Amino acid sequence: MASINYATREINCKLVYYGPGLCGKTTNLQFLHQHLNRGRRGEMVSLATPGERTLYFDFLPVEMAEINGFKVKFGLYTVPGQVLYNATRKLVLRGADGVVFVADSQWDVMQENLDSWQNLQDNLAGYNVHLEDLPYLFQYNKRDLTDIAPVWYMEYLLNARGVPYTEAVALDGRGVFSTLNILCRFVIRDLVHRFETGAF
């Protein structure tokens, strides 16, 4: 749930990058951290194992332009993709305003994509949150590899609601900014809508 500080005129939102292990969530944040202007992003906090596996989560604060006099700040989080860290994933997911589901495009991890997608829905249901109410989108990552599923099949597999998706190669930064932009747009719209309807 976004928090609003009227004194400092700031809106803080939480965006979570979710997906199976080694799908490229941290790579997304690392690219953003490396390529955003310093004035618009803070320092990235990463708790990883020596093998570059996310142990707890990664965090990157970024700042958007003002909207109606309020400065909008996004906290970008990743979750540990490994199956045994579900408690951490659920904890990080708490209070999320938007979710990027990073799916690995390789055929061999299609089942892991499905399992992680199901896991996301289960964890959200634990907070009584449903995807009908939470802005999210898919990022089909690793599109530069050879043994990958076509996008239309991944859409069939995962995207039953027809939400936006992006094709990405997070290592090169392809699709990383567009993913963030699309999600931010929908999160802001949702936020404004909730304000207007008094649901906030």
User: Please, are residues 80 and 56 in contact by the beta-carbon 8 Å criterion?
Assistant: yes
- Helix 25-35 to helix 176-197 angle (10° resolution) is 90
- In terms of CB distance, is 9 or 49 closer to other proteins? 9
In the bound complex, what is the minimum distance in angstroms from residue 181's beta carbon to other proteins? Answer: 4
Q: Is 67 in the site for other proteins (CB under 8 A)?
A: yes
Cα gap 50→129, rounded to integer Å: 34
Contacts (Cβ under 8 Å, ≥6 apart) of 192: 67
In the bound complex, what is the minimum distance in angstroms from residue 136's beta carbon to other proteins? Answer: 9
Strands 3-5 and 165-167: unpaired
Helix (H, G, I), strand (E, B) or coil at 19: coil
**Which residue of 43, 122, 172, 200 would you call a contact of other proteins, by CB under 8 A?**
122
Q: Which stretch binds other proteins (CB under 8 A): 19-27, 44-52, 58-66, 81-89?
A: 58-66
User: Please, are residues 166 and 140 in contact by the beta-carbon 8 Å criterion?
Assistant: yes
What tokens appear for 22 in the block? 């080694």
In the bound complex, what is the minimum distance in angstroms from residue 144's beta carbon to other proteins? Answer: 17
Q: Which stretch binds other proteins (CB under 8 A): 10-18, 49-57, 84-92, 127-135?
A: 127-135
What tokens appear for 185 in the block? 């747009």
**Which residue of 3, 47, 83, 189 would you call a contact of other proteins, by CB under 8 A?**
189
Q: What does the binding site for other proteins look like in residue numbers (CB under 8 A)? A: 32, 34-38, 40, 62, 64-68, 107-108, 110-111, 114, 118, 122, 131-135, 147, 149-150, 152-153, 156-157, 159-164, 177, 180-181, 184-186, 188-190, 192-193
